[in-house]
Each structure stands twice: as structure tokens, then as C-alpha cells.
Amino acid sequence: MNMPGKLTLCLAFLLTAPSLAASDTVLTLSGAISDEEIKFTRDDLLGMSQQQLVTATTVTDGRSTFEGFLVRDLLEAHEADGEVVIARALNDYQIEIPISDFERFDVIGALSMDGVPLSPRDKGPIWIVYPRDDHPELQDIRYDTRWVWQLVSLHVQ
């Protein structure tokens, strides 16, 4: 294929490839909160205080550096009043996470791993990450199932 043909093919791919604009909703918070439902863009979440967490996971090699917002900060800022959060992923995986997890541990909504923004193709745009290496009790299957990747919503009950 000649150079103009290659450029046309690349441009067509870029225009049709799924992407995440800064104005797209990446997370919805609902349920027992101060408002009926709140939609967050990536920029909204990046505007929150960011935390770094270095930990191993059960699905990656070695230890990685994650950066994102503390889930408890998000819940507190919107006056969450419940016992559990139902976390739902892009593929409709759902799990109940006790709100006490977010109070007890520095659980983050990771937006990047090792300095690279998370995308839907690689566990993003948000991945719930526990400080697994800092607490031996977190190295348990009960907690592993709460590491929701491709997180799209949190519903407080």
C-alpha cells in the first residue's frame, strides 16, 4: 500500500475507533446520596485529590503504581448514607462492597496504572484498587472480588 493509502487507512481507524472524550460520563453515583444521581467525567474525577498506591494485584505481574481518588472522599462529598455500595462494571458485573471497606482502607478509584491512563481496553477508565500489600487481611478472595475494573457506577444502599 502506498503512503497516501496508509495515511487514509490510519485516519479512518482513528475516526471510527472508540475513544473517551473528556466530557464523556465515566462514573455515575446514585442511591442514598445528597442528589438523585451524579454523573462524573474523567476531568471531574481528576479534579479530586489524587492518591498514589503501590500494590500487587491478582491479575497483573509484580507491583504497580496506581493513581486516583479515594472512594471514601467521593462518598463523603456527596453525603452517602448507606451500608453498602453496589459497584457495577461495563460488562454488568456487580458486587456489593461494604462502605466500611472505604472507611477502613485507602481504597482508590484508579484512573491510571504506572503513569498510563486506564482505558476500557485495559481495566479502565476506573478500577477499584485496594491497598492489598499494606494489609494482610486484604489478600483474601472476598476482597479480590471487590476489585471492580471498568467501573461505571456506584449505587449507595
Cα separations in angstroms, 8 against 12, 17, 18, 137: 6, 14, 18, 53
**Phi, psi of 149, deg, nearest 5:** -100, 165
- The position carrying cell 457495577 is 88
> What is the pLDDT, as a whole number, of residue 13?
39
Integer Cα distance of 151 and 147 in angstroms: 9
Q: What are the residue ranges spanned by the domains of the chain?
A: 24-156
Q: What angle do CA 121, 156, 94 make, to 5 degrees?
A: 40
Amino acid symbol at 13 = F
| E strand intervals along 20-93 | 25-31, 37-41, 50-56, 63-70, 84-89
Is the model more confident about 11 or about 41? 41
User: What is the DSSP track for 91-108?
Assistant: T--EEEEEHHHHHHS--E
CATH of segment(s) 24-156: 3.90.420.10
- For 15-71, the pLDDT digits (tens) are 333 445 557 999 999 999 999 899 999 999 999 999 999 999 999 999 999 999 999
- For 93-135, the pLDDT digits (tens) are 999 999 999 999 999 999 999 999 999 998 999 999 999 999 9
**Residues 68-107 as b or e (16 or more Cβ within 10 Å = b):** bbbbbebbeebebeeebbbbbbeeeeeeebebebbeebeb
Q: What is the pTM of this model?
A: 0.84
Cα separations in angstroms, 22 against 41, 44, 128: 6, 9, 20
φ/ψ bin of 79: left (φ > 0), alpha (ψ from -120 to 50), beta (otherwise)? left
